[in-house]
């Protein structure tokens, strides 16, 4: 999957092109950024997504401007970024961040087959909350029809990863400045019951013990 387009140009040693690395980053993320061009203007829109095998899926209402534009088969740049930590060096200049990101180039395709559409929506729900699909009401035929699902193949995809401590200029190691990494991660707080919740319905395990 290392092509002229996907090759990581800046700091090439941070580039990764194997499917497992790319899939693991995609599976951990919750929000992607979808970049496309409308009348020459770049537009980037955050949205949720799911993955099935070697495709990512995005979805939304049929009225969505983004989905309508993408359905015409224009070029897409799909990205997911996970921030893993602040890299605090002894000099301002060498500060950095630890991160894992994926970039996918390609064209999206509208999913018309009802089976594939349902499978994508299941992957979508399961991606956000494992086990949720079987706990909730499934989409009706009307809801399925009202939902546009687009797929994007992971053909031209690459990952970029930075890990590890700050790298300082040699002279700076003598400075009496704390340096290191402050790990960052997305964590869940206490679940908040929705209004009008039926009595005796308690927070399920997958919500209570949620971790990415």
Of residues 109 through 148, those in contact with a second copy by CB under 8 A are: 121-122, 125, 128-129, 132-133, 135-140, 143, 147
**Region 16-55 residues binding a second copy, contact defined as CB under 8 A:** 30-31, 33-37, 40-46, 48
The alpha carbon of 124 is separated from its chain's Cα centroid by a whole number of angstroms, namely: 12
Q: How many residues bind a second copy (CB under 8 A)?
A: 96
* Site membership for a second copy, residue 68 (CB under 8 A): no
Binding segment (CB under 8 A) for a second copy, from list 3-11, 18-26, 49-57, 108-116: 3-11
Residue 55 CB, nearest approach to a second copy (Å): 19
Taking the complex as a whole, the smallest distance from the CB of residue 178 to a second copy amounts, in Å, to: 5
At closest approach, how far in Å is the CB of 191 from a second copy?
5
Measured at the CA of 96, the angle between CA 3 and CA 24, to 5 degrees, comes to 50
Nearest residue to 89 (alpha-carbon basis) of 174, 176, 184, 177? 177
Q: Which residues of 84-122 are buried (b: 16+ CB within 10 A; e: fewer)?
A: bbebbbbeeeeebebbbbbbbbbebeebeeeeebbbbbb
């Amino acid at each position: 999957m290392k092509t002229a387009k996907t090759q990581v140009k800046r700091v090439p040693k941070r580039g990764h092109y194997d499917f497992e690395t790319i899939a693991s980053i995609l599976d951990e993320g919750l929000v992607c950024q979808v970049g496309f061009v409308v009348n020459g203007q770049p537009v980037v829109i955050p949205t949720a997504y799911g993955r099935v095998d070697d495709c990512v899926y995005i979805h939304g209402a049929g009225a969505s401007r983004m989905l309508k534009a993408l359905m015409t088969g224009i070029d897409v740049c799909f990205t997911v970024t996970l921030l893993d930590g602040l890299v605090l060096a002894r000099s301002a200049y060498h500060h950095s961040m630890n991160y894992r990101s994926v970039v996918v180039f390609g064209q999206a395709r509208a999913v018309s087959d009802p089976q594939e559409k349902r499978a994508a929506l299941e992957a979508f729900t399961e991606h956000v909350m494992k086990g949720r699909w079987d706990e909730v009401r499934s989409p009706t035929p009307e809801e399925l029809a009202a939902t546009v699902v687009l797929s994007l193949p992971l053909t031209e995809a690459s990952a970029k990863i930075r890990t590890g401590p700050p790298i300082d200029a040699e002279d700076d190691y003598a400075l009496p400045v704390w340096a290191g990494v402050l790990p960052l991660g997305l964590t869940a707080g206490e679940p908040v019951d929705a209004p009008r919740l039926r009595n005796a319905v308690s927070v399920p395990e997958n919500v209570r013990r949620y971790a990415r």
